[in-house]
A and B are shown apart, each in its own frame.
Chain A
Amino acid sequence: MAVRVQFENSNEVGVFAKLTNVYCLVCIGGSENFYSIFESELSDVVPVVHTTIAGCRIIGRMTVGNRHGLLVPATTDDQELQHIRNSLPDSVKIQRIEERLSALGNVITCNDYVALVHPDLDRETEEILADVLKVEVFRQTVSDNVLVGSYAALSNRGGLVHPKTSIEDQDELSSLLQVPLVAGTVNRGSDVVGAGMVVNDWIAFTGMDTTSTELSVIESVFKLSDSPQSAIQSAMRDSLIDSMT
């Protein structure tokens, strides 16, 4: 299911949180409403870790991770790193990496199997990604945007990309990533979909401004809805809707 949430009047959930299938990182905020919503949805299933990265609250944009591991930038404090290590399950490998493009969440997007990275990412970082996160790495752009982490939101079951992504780009990415993709918006028309939401295999969090249309698109591409989809959405869809370009 998809939940609407807000961090201190900001709708950019993907900036202040990082969500995977085995853990969730949330930044330290003035009022704890944000944190408590994540807790109430997730705490029985995965640990919700309260942290900052390099003293900054934009942890969603600084880090990248999946069920196998978490990568943090070189500016992360030792204390923060220790706290994260203590709080995450042992199966999650944490690594601090030196990378010129230090906002890892903006330049890398990944699920448990594949990762898309900024074309200029260091070779070394790519290797560490493949090693720690156990993913296959592809250097690609999302509709000519190099900040793949900002313009694409990815889970194991689907992906949401920048609204101006052409059908050819979507097909290409979809075949690389092996998940269905849809081009759409979040937070009432914002095209920065990677920063506007977080998602894993069973839940997504988006900003308060997200319209119900956007939410239904998100629920359908990431396969989050509790109810089985009616025939009109699956089997009959092709005969009812012609392709619109």
Chain B
Amino acid sequence: CPVTPSIMAAAPKKRAFAEDVGEKGDSREDEGEEGDSGEEMYSGSGDSDRSDMDVAQEVQVDFEARTACDSDFHGIKRLLGQLFLKSHVNLSELTDIILSQNYIGCVIKQGEIPEDSDSDDGEEEIFGFITVINITDRKDKPCLQAVKALVLDRCKECAAQNTYEEFSHILENDRHRVGFLMFERFINLPTQLALPSYESLNKDLQQAQIMEMQYTFDYILMISKTYTEIKTKGGKKGKKSSQPQDHREEIHFSNAEEEFFHQEAQTTFSYPVIEESDSGFSGNWRSDDSTTKPFRTVMLIPNGKMVEIRKKMEEYLSV
């Protein structure tokens, strides 16, 4: 069961999600946790199969959302690396931008373990982070220009002409404020984390909007990690990686909640990343698994649709 190695005490308690702790700020009261501003408690658990005979056992893990700080640099950069793979985007610069606006979004860390078996010297692993960057207003940053260039270049190669024109029109035109939404996490983290994370992001954005205009967006840009399955039974082979993704072929999302974004998106396209991934194929963890081919799906979602998406997330993801 590929979950984090630290296991909480065996009693499987069902914790309530995202205890709403009001505004994040220096004056908020912590729940006995020292030194962290802006925390909410999440609890993740797998399926309800509790049988001890089952090899894949359930593990109860607590996650916490914290404000990003400088020591999280390497963790955030690593997570960005899994999205961008070998593209020419300066991830250090992008990470610095994320840290400079750490009041938007959060990083996901493990909850405090009462008995600190291996004392971490202040460096905790980051399991995920969520944030939105305004790429229209910050277009002087080379890494954001690189992101835009990456999207447009791939779009030109892999998508229809009118898709490219639409992307080009929205991204190049300064009148549309585009926010680049990133929610990166380790691949096996449960989807239950998504809803509280997005709610938290929303709150942060609303607060920031009161202060500064640059956090209201017309469009949201999102690059998702997706894959298609190659059916190994019956000798059917998957498409060659050099061909663009066919809309008929089923796209699976590594972060399941991103499928809602896909449904509400104004335009989307996918490009293959099989050459950039370290292993040619993934999957096949169990004998009945199929192998998969990795893609990146780029989506532009009009800001108005975010309400719809949130509704769907609440409907499907609430515990």
Q: What is A's interface to B at a CB cutoff of 8 Å?
A: 8-10, 30-31, 188-190, 208-209
Q: Does B74 lie within 8 Å of A9, measured CB to CB?
A: no
> How many angstroms between the C-alpha atoms of A189 and B73 in the bound complex?
10
Q: Does A9 lie within 8 Å of B73, measured CB to CB?
A: no
Q: Does A190 lie within 8 Å of B74, measured CB to CB?
A: yes
Which residues in chain B, 183-209, are within 8 Å of chain A measured between CB atoms?
none
Asked if B18 lies at the interface with its beta carbon under 8 angstroms from chain A, I say no
Closest-by-CB residue of A relative to B70 is A189
Instruction: Give 1 or 0 for each of B266-295: 1 = CB within 8 Å of chain A CB.
Output: 000000000110000000000000000000
The answer to whether residues A188 and B73 also contact, given A9-B81, A208-B92, A209-B92 and a CB cut-off of 8 A, is: yes
Q: Does A30 lie within 8 Å of B86, measured CB to CB?
A: yes
Instruction: Give 1 or 0 for each of B120-150: 1 = CB within 8 Å of chain A CB.
Output: 0000000000000000000000000000000
> How many angstroms between the C-alpha atoms of A189 and B81 in the bound complex?
18
Asked if B306 lies at the interface with its beta carbon under 8 angstroms from chain A, I say no
| Chain B positions within 8 Å of A188 at CB level | 73-74, 92
> How many angstroms between the C-alpha atoms of A188 and B123 in the bound complex?
14
Q: Does A8 lie within 8 Å of B92, measured CB to CB?
A: no
Asked if B84 lies at the interface with its beta carbon under 8 angstroms from chain A, I say yes
Give the size range of B's interface with the partner: 10 to 19
21 contacts between A and B (CB under 8 A): A8-B86, A9-B81, A9-B84, A9-B85, A9-B86, A9-B87, A9-B89, A9-B91, A10-B81, A30-B86, A30-B275, A30-B276, A31-B86, A188-B73, A188-B74, A188-B92, A189-B73, A189-B74, A190-B74, A208-B92, A209-B92
Task: Report which residue of B85, B86, B275 has the largest number of chain A beta carbons within 10 angstroms of its beta carbon.
Answer: B86
Q: A9-B85, A188-B92, A189-B74 are in contact. List 16 more A-B contacts (CB 8 A).
A: A8-B86, A9-B81, A9-B84, A9-B86, A9-B87, A9-B89, A9-B91, A10-B81, A30-B86, A30-B275, A30-B276, A31-B86, A188-B73, A188-B74, A189-B73, A208-B92
> How many angstroms between the C-alpha atoms of A94 and B89 in the bound complex?
38
Closest-by-CB residue of B relative to A11 is B92
| Chain A positions within 8 Å of B275 at CB level | 30
Taking the nearest CB of chain B, how far is it from the CB of A151, in angstroms? 15
> How many angstroms between the C-alpha atoms of A189 and B85 in the bound complex?
22
Closest-by-CB residue of A relative to B73 is A188
> How many angstroms between the C-alpha atoms of A8 and B74 in the bound complex?
16
> How many angstroms between the C-alpha atoms of A224 and B275 in the bound complex?
38
Closest-by-CB residue of B relative to A30 is B86
| Chain B positions within 8 Å of A8 at CB level | 86
Which residues in chain B, 86-124, are within 8 Å of chain A measured between CB atoms?
86-87, 89, 91-92
Instruction: Give 1 or 0 for each of B43-75: 1 = CB within 8 Å of chain A CB.
Output: 000000000000000000000000000000110
> How many angstroms between the C-alpha atoms of A193 and B253 in the bound complex?
37
> How many angstroms between the C-alpha atoms of A209 and B92 in the bound complex?
7
| Chain B positions within 8 Å of A31 at CB level | 86
Taking the nearest CB of chain B, how far is it from the CB of A192, in angstroms? 11
> How many angstroms between the C-alpha atoms of A65 and B91 in the bound complex?
32
Taking the nearest CB of chain A, how far is it from the CB of B105, in angstroms? 22
Taking the nearest CB of chain A, how far is it from the CB of B241, in angstroms? 15
> How many angstroms between the C-alpha atoms of A8 and B277 in the bound complex?
12
Taking the nearest CB of chain A, how far is it from the CB of B264, in angstroms? 31
> How many angstroms between the C-alpha atoms of A8 and B73 in the bound complex?
19
| Chain A positions within 8 Å of B84 at CB level | 9
| Chain A positions within 8 Å of B74 at CB level | 188-190
Closest-by-CB residue of A relative to B77 is A209
Taking the nearest CB of chain A, how far is it from the CB of B69, in angstroms? 13
Taking the nearest CB of chain A, how far is it from the CB of B190, in angstroms? 28
Closest-by-CB residue of A relative to B92 is A209
> How many angstroms between the C-alpha atoms of A209 and B91 in the bound complex?
10
| Chain B positions within 8 Å of A9 at CB level | 81, 84-87, 89, 91
Taking the nearest CB of chain A, how far is it from the CB of B99, in angstroms? 12
| Chain A positions within 8 Å of B92 at CB level | 188, 208-209
| Chain A positions within 8 Å of B73 at CB level | 188-189
Taking the nearest CB of chain B, how far is it from the CB of A13, in angstroms? 15
> How many angstroms between the C-alpha atoms of A191 and B85 in the bound complex?
23
Taking the nearest CB of chain A, how far is it from the CB of B10, in angstroms? 33
| Chain A positions within 8 Å of B276 at CB level | 30
Instruction: Give 1 or 0 for each of B204-238: 1 = CB within 8 Å of chain A CB.
Output: 00000000000000000000000000000000000
Going nearest first, the 3 A-B pairs with the smallest beta carbon separation are A8-B86, A209-B92, A30-B86
> How many angstroms between the C-alpha atoms of A230 and B74 in the bound complex?
35
Task: Report which residue of B85, B87, B92, B275 has the largest number of chain A beta carbons within 10 angstroms of its beta carbon.
Answer: B92
Taking the nearest CB of chain B, how far is it from the CB of A183, in angstroms? 15
Task: Report which residue of A9, A10, A188 has the largest number of chain B beta carbons within 10 angstroms of its beta carbon.
Answer: A9
> How many angstroms between the C-alpha atoms of A190 and B276 in the bound complex?
25
| Chain A positions within 8 Å of B89 at CB level | 9
| Chain B positions within 8 Å of A190 at CB level | 74
> How many angstroms between the C-alpha atoms of A31 and B275 in the bound complex?
12
Closest-by-CB residue of A relative to B121 is A164
| Chain B positions within 8 Å of A30 at CB level | 86, 275-276
